[in-house]
Chain A
Amino acid sequence: MASDVLNASPADKLAGLARQAADFDAAHGTDGETITAVNAEQNRPLFASRVKVYPKLVHGTFRRLKWAVMAITLAIYYITPWLRWDRGPNAPDQAVLLDLPARRFYFFFIEIWPQEIYYLTGLLILASLLLFLVTSLAGRVWCGYTCPQTVWTDLFIYVERLFEGERAARIRLDKSPWSLGKLARKTGKHIVWLLIAIATGGAWVFYFADAPTLASDLVTLEAPLIAYIFIGLFTGTTYLLGGIAREQVCTYMCPWPRIQGAMFDDDSLLVSYKPDRGEPRGPHKKGTSWDGRGDCIDCGQCVAACPMGIDIRDGMQLECIQCALCIDACNEIMDKVERPRNLIGYDTPANKEARRLGMKEKVRLIRPRTVIYSGLLLLVTAIMVNTFATRAQLEVNVLRDRNPLFVQLSDGSIRNGYQVKILNMDHEAADFRVAIEGLPEGVLTVQGRDTQGPQIVAAEADSLKSIKMYVILPVDALGRLDDGEAEFAFTVENLRTGEAVENATVFRGPQK
């Protein structure tokens, strides 16, 4: 009755309440109030306490896979800054280096200048497309296997297990009163957690400076303050997110679980419980028949193994990071009760439906969605490879003076000023020949030089050389300009390598 009232529209509800009141009046001959308590149906708490999760260790394919992924990803993270890559004497030899003060990003054979930051955009687009593709194929693979939050939490749980034992022992320990042994176990765990956290923060700063130099500076307390601040920041967040907050991060902080719903479709392989096989569930006594019942013996192992503390049998839910540990947990049990494996497994909603209808199950990896994602992925990769392959070691920017637009000299000729910027991205210093093309009567000069015509400009290795140049057009040539304006180009040639580029600009004089 109460829920009917709750589900009714406001008008119906008011009418219903009025009818109730009238009935009450008629039955009792008194005045009834049409009122309900402000907290009716509100027996739930406003704020939920956290229920601590004690994930149980499982053994199986996915646990082994996750150990391997953990080892690989952690190795990449900790070892990368120490890899060397020879770039000659004029550039750093660290394979991956984000040199913020010098404004250069180095990735093995790739060197990115500030104006090429769109390569980073390209990498981010690739990363997101890859994420979309993987998610539409096999769900939250990123979340379950490779997300740093998952990897570090897994590592921290491993340490917790070393000090406090298996799930049951950990629960017992937390319930037991404080003792010297409990204190020792807890202290030991937190110390190791902090050490891991410090190592994590420590590895982070090595990406931004020469790792061996910074390492010795850090030890001798000579490193810049900002390095210590960032180590502190990452130590704090690693300890807090990996050790303390854990599944709360995924459920309450991360936006991805909210987005993922739009990434799945009926053919996505998702970690799921097969209710058609498992139900009706219930305890099973060894030797009794399996007829008329499901394979799920309701042992709760899938829940105990879950690092998010949820029950996969409730179906797809926001909290599930699809780490697949429940698959291992269930398979261990299925082996013991001698039933087929994969009561919990990678399954698609379409197959679930197919089984219900008695049709054949199939896995469709090639679908419009995956084809489009793959196509875009290939396209962006091709564009990026192409731009990298044809990338020049020399770039020229010409900034025309706009204030003043032009200067009249005493003999009546008109002078335009240009800031010519030569980007020598080569690792060798070189001389550059700068000339103009397309303005035959124009005279090229440089502030502070007597020479007229093509100019030789020296640029350091891996640097930007900016030089102020002038083009002067004699008075008799001005009359031949079209509306006081002429297009022409600066040509710049690296005299060491022969590489040449052109940059178009314009000459302006007074309009007639």
Chain B
Amino acid sequence: MSTPHKDEITGVETTGHEWDDIRELNNPLPKWWVYTFYATIVWSLAYFVFMPSWPVFWNGEWTALEGVLGYSQRGAVTEELAAIEEGRADYMQAIAATDISKIQANPELMELAVAGGKALFGDNCAPCHGSGAQGFKGYPNLNDDNWIWGGTLEAIQTTITHGIRWELDDDTRFNMMPRFLTDGILSREEVGNVTDYVLAISGQGEMTEGAEAGAEIFAQQCAACHGESGAGNQELGAPNLTDAIWLYGGNRSDIYESIAKARAGVMPAWGGRLTDAEIKELTLYVHTLGGGQ
């Protein structure tokens, strides 16, 4: 492969390497090119001195020399984050100082707040409610027009600030549905009858004999919270049982289980974890998802 050869046309010796009959002329390199190469070597040496470079074993662990300039990517990120915080300090202050309904009336502030709320939602709420706030079984969908504890700005703000059944917060939203079968309040048959009644009022079943019996039990045991018609009560956090939306599923076995064992989902209180301004942003974002009242 490596046969020295003189090119007939140019009279220049080739490198002796040959690929598919193509040979490379071994012309001398221009000197300035070599000097440029030396310059890059000098540059790299300077880089070692000024920038973090050598790995060293120091005090029992691997670390790196910090370099004269003291640069680090982590430091750069911290600086950039601080710069962003500083840059948006004005509008965060404005959001903190403005009443939430007035923010809604101010398009510029509203746009910033919703954008901030979206990022906060992704960081804090998405694990349970989903990145599109679509919810899962036991975790409400925030896009729809159904609200257990109320869908006004004020109600959403309260829910986010104090959470639901969050024992560390004295003002948390709290209710407790009895475990009708587990605690022996109703028999299996009675629970079944109430289930049939709930199916009937939500338009999923007929008013059978069992359902009629269930209606009586409903009036005694359930209507206090869920209302006589079963339309629910946002003051108490009692869901509407007549609509098409079910937090824990709307088929017969799901409803039966809900009555028999009761459900008590928990949401943390975000007051204290997030600033008031951040909670306002989140509130406004959730409110814009399509179901805000």
Chain A residues close to B by CB (< 8 Å): 3, 6-7, 9-10, 13, 41, 44-50, 248, 252, 401-404, 407-412, 415, 417, 447-448, 468, 470, 475
A252 & B288 in contact (Cβ 8 Å cutoff)? no
In the complex, A7→B33 CA distance in Å? 31
Q: Which residues of A contact B193 (CB under 8 A)?
A: none
CA separation between A48 and B28, bound complex, in Å? 6
On whether the beta carbons of A47 and B31 are closer than 8 Å, the reply is yes
Would you give the shortest CB distance from B108 to chain A, in whole angstroms? 13
User: How far apart are A47's CB and chain B's nearest CB, in angstroms?
Assistant: 5
Cβ contacts under 8 Å, B146 to chain A: 409-410
The residue from B30, B141, B244 contacting A404, defined by CB atoms under 8 A apart = B141
Question: Can you report 23 A-B residue pairs in the complex whose CB atoms are below 8 A from each other?
Answer: A7-B6, A13-B3, A41-B4, A44-B28, A45-B28, A46-B28, A47-B29, A47-B31, A48-B29, A248-B30, A252-B33, A403-B130, A403-B134, A404-B134, A409-B145, A410-B145, A410-B146, A410-B240, A412-B244, A415-B143, A415-B290, A447-B290, A470-B290
Interface residues of B in 22-42 (CB under 8 A from A): 27-34
Interface residues on B, range: 20 to 34
* B131 CB within 8 Å of chain A: yes
* Chain B 237-268 interface mask (CB, 8 Å, partner A; 1/0): 00010011100000000000000000000000
In the assembled complex, which residues on chain A have CB atoms less than 8 Å from the CB atom of B31? 47-50
Q: A6-B6, A47-B30, A48-B28 are in contact. Are A411 and B243 (CB under 8 A)?
A: yes
Q: CA–CA, A183 to B213, complex, Å? A: 114
B132 within 8 A of A: yes
- Chain A residues with Cβ below 8 Å from B28 are 44-48
B206 surroundings in chain A (CB, below 8 A): none
CA distance A469 to B82 in the complex (A): 36
- The smallest beta-carbon distance between B271 and chain A, in angstroms, is 27
CA distance A417 to B132 in the complex (A): 12
**B216 contacts the other chain (Cβ, under 8 Å)?**
no
List 18 additional contacts besides A248-B30, A415-B144; criterion CB under 8 Å. Answer: A6-B5, A6-B6, A7-B5, A44-B28, A47-B31, A48-B27, A252-B30, A252-B33, A404-B130, A404-B134, A404-B143, A408-B244, A410-B146, A410-B240, A410-B245, A411-B243, A411-B244, A448-B288
Chain B 4-28 interface mask (CB, 8 Å, partner A; 1/0): 1110000001000000000000011
CA distance A364 to B29 in the complex (A): 39
In the complex, what residue of chain B is closest to A413 when comparing beta carbons? B244
A403 lies within 8 A of B6 (CB): no
Given A403-B132, A417-B290, also A408-B30 (CB < 8 A): no
When C-beta atoms are compared, the residue in chain B nearest to A412 turns out to be: B244
**Complex contacts, A407 vs chain B, CB 8 Å:** 134, 141, 143-144, 290
In this complex, which of B27, B240, B245 has the most chain A Cβ atoms within 10 angstroms of its Cβ?
Answer: B245
Q: Are A47 and B6 in contact (CB under 8 A)?
A: no
Given A3, A46, A404, which contacts B132 in the complex, CB threshold below 8 Å?
Answer: A404
Nearest chain A CB to B8's CB is how many angstroms away? 10
How distant is the Cα of A428 from the Cα of B235 in the complex, in angstroms? 50
User: Are A409 and B33 in touch, CB under 8 angstroms?
Assistant: no
Bound together, the chains give a CA A50 to CA B28 distance in angstroms of 11
Check if B30 sits within 8 Å of A44, measured CB to CB.
no
Among all A-B residue pairs, the 6 with the closest Cβ atoms: A403-B132, A404-B134, A410-B243, A412-B244, A48-B28, A407-B143
Q: Mark B180-198, 1 if CB is under 8 A from A, else 0.
A: 0000000000000000000
**Of the residues A10, A50, A408, contact of B3 by C-beta under 8 Å:** A10
Whether B3 and A403, one on each chain, are in contact in the complex, defined by CB atoms closer than 8 angstroms, is: no
Q: Which of A45, A50, A402, A407 has the most CB of B within 10 A?
A: A407
Q: A13 contacts which chain B residues (CB < 8 A)? A: 3
Cα distance, A447 to B292, chains bound together (Å): 9
Q: Considering the complex, which residues of chain B in the window 120-147 have a beta carbon less than 8 Å from any beta carbon of chain A?
A: 130-134, 141, 143-146
Compute how far the CA of A9 lies from the CA of B131 in the bound complex, rounded to whole angstroms: 70
> Could you tell me the distance in whole angstroms from the C-beta of B111 to the nearest C-beta in chain A?
10
Contact between chains at A403 and B5 (CB < 8 Å): no
Given A47-B30, A403-B132, A448-B288, are A408 and B4 neighbors across the interface (CB < 8 Å)? Answer: no
CB pair B13 A41 closer than 8 Å: yes
| A403→B141 CA distance, assembly (Å) | 11
* Closest chain B CB from A402 CB (angstroms): 8
Docked pose: A475 CA to B244 CA in angstroms: 10
A407–B144 alpha-carbon span in the complex (Å):
6
B242 to chain A, nearest CB (A): 9
A403 interface neighbour in B29, B131, B144, B243, Cβ under 8 Å:
B131
- How far is it, in angstroms, between the C-alpha of A252 and the C-alpha of B134 when the chains are bound? 61
* Bound-complex Cα distance A447 to B114 (A): 13
Q: Is the CB of B245 within 8 A of A408?
A: yes
What's the minimum C-beta distance from B138 to chain A, rounded to whole angstroms? 16
Q: Which residues of B lie under 8 Å from residue A252 when comparing CB positions?
A: 30, 33
Closest Cβ of chain A to B250, distance in Å, is 10
List chain B residues, Cβ under 8 A from A3.
Answer: 6
Would B30 and A48 count as touching, CB distance under 8 A? yes
- Distance to closest chain B CB from A411 (angstroms): 7
Contact B141 A9 (CB under 8 A): no
Query: CA separation between A407 and B132, bound complex, in Å?
Result: 11
Contacts of A409 in B (CB 8 A): 144-146, 244-245
Taken together as a complex, chains A and B put the C-alpha atoms of A6 and B288 apart, in Å, by: 82
Kindly provide the distance from the CB of B159 to the nearest chain A CB, expressed in whole angstroms. Answer: 18
